[in-house]
Structure 1
Amino acid sequence: MSQQTLQELLAERVTVYAQFDRPRELIDEGIDKLFKEVVSDAFRSYGDFGGAIKEAIKAALPANVSDVFELQRYNGLVANALRERWEAAAVHSTIIEQADKSISEVLEGKGLITGEVSLHDLLKAFIDEHKDKAAEEQWERPEIRIEEGDAYGTGMKFLHIYFDEEPEDRGSSYSRRRENHQLKHSMHVNIAGKREAANHWRKADEFGEVYSARLDEKKVAVNMRIRSDWERMLASLYFGNAILVIDCDPDDLSYGLYD
């Protein structure tokens, strides 16, 4: 038997190997991996498709978006419309799965809160953010006002919550009390009911939905930059599905500098 060269040996083994199913399996695996990588890259938030979703959502928002009463439901409507359109087009399940993840990232963002939010926790986070400034200015407590309102003849009850990190200047006879609308932040709540209070010194806690809100003297809007925990909580109450639990009074909260 004549001795084969390396080149002849390789050629022979390649020919034999190609006659079996393994090469087809490897090719299929390679194609499958390639398509998964392409789809995954396309749906990343910084990818072309992820960017297109963001632009499509921005373009779909009405010009007066901050004035829409049912805006907290808008995100869900957009997401469902996109999902239904892709499902109707019989898009492959892998793409739908990636698209669903991308939609959630775009619409929900970091720390979207559902369920309920404690007013005490929100205001405590607000106070914690401004403690350094309060120490510099010798502020004892922020200005917090909770006032009742009602729709005449309907039996509906509303609470109007106004707050500002800077207290009223009560030490001067020349200072005038700021009007409610002059405080930087506010939430307006449609009260849905009452329940037993978690703290024994309160008889009951009211709860309801936030139908209007302001941050830094501006109506909450989708293009606002949300920086802190308390701002995220407030935005979630307005845009999300959370309810606000009124579990404190203004006098319960202070900067704690003189405790």
Structure 2
Amino acid sequence: MAILEWEQATCIDFMEVSKGYSGPHLKIQRHSDDCRSFIGMVSTTGQDFYISKECEGQHGELLHLLGYAVGFWPEETRSDRNYYIRINDNNVQKPVVDNFPINSDNNYSVPFDYCSIMFHHERAFTNNGGITIATLDPIYQGVLGQRSQISHMDKLLANTMYQCTDKLLSQCSLGSDPCLNGGYLDTSCTCVCPDGINGTFCDTVHSAYGEQCLSAYSETVTSETSISSPSSPDMPSVNADVEKCWYKDSALPHP
């Protein structure tokens, strides 16, 4: 199902190859306790792609893992990340500090996305239970690490990386990409628009993408209550049931 979701959102096709195939491909195999993929193509003769039994049952984690194979870096390592997040190095396990480098990547002008399937959880690789990835705008803190679905900007990035629109222009009898404001062309020759934007060419903006991202993966609280954050594979079990609530109030401190 995770493969199908990537295929439906992009022009990428995952095709089964015969045993002994020597061209570029993913060698998907069982691993006792690890889920792992290289980032992009690193071998012209096949590369390992590991799935553990536990990971196999987690749709969101498989989407995330396939994102690496497609060629995505973690969102928190983007070259423009310091405008949006900070890494709390003192909270990061020493052996994995290098998991948070700034990459000299090409983001293809796709906006930074707090709701990317490639974001790790806010306490990823923590050495003390503290937050390792902090959003500069605290209202977005709670959406990091969502594993529900590929976000619109993830789809836009993949379609841009693999030049999906260029491949559709002649089929759709178009001379150039007609989609605006973060929209992309799909196989039906229509523009797929980010939430908050519509119109034939994604030309009518009702709200910013970030606002829609926030509403999709967070809860609005209007009275005193208690909210338990769901456990995450990236969080130590001791922190799995930490209660937290993020308030839209700039006067309140940011953890």
Same-fold call, TM cutoff 0.5: no
Structure (1 or 2) with the greater helix fraction: 1
TM range (shorter): under 0.3
The one of the two structures with greater contact order (alpha-carbon pairs below 8 A, sep at least 6) is 1
Structure (1 or 2) with the greater strand fraction: 1
TM-score (norm 1): 0.20
TM-score (norm 2): 0.21
Larger Rg: 1
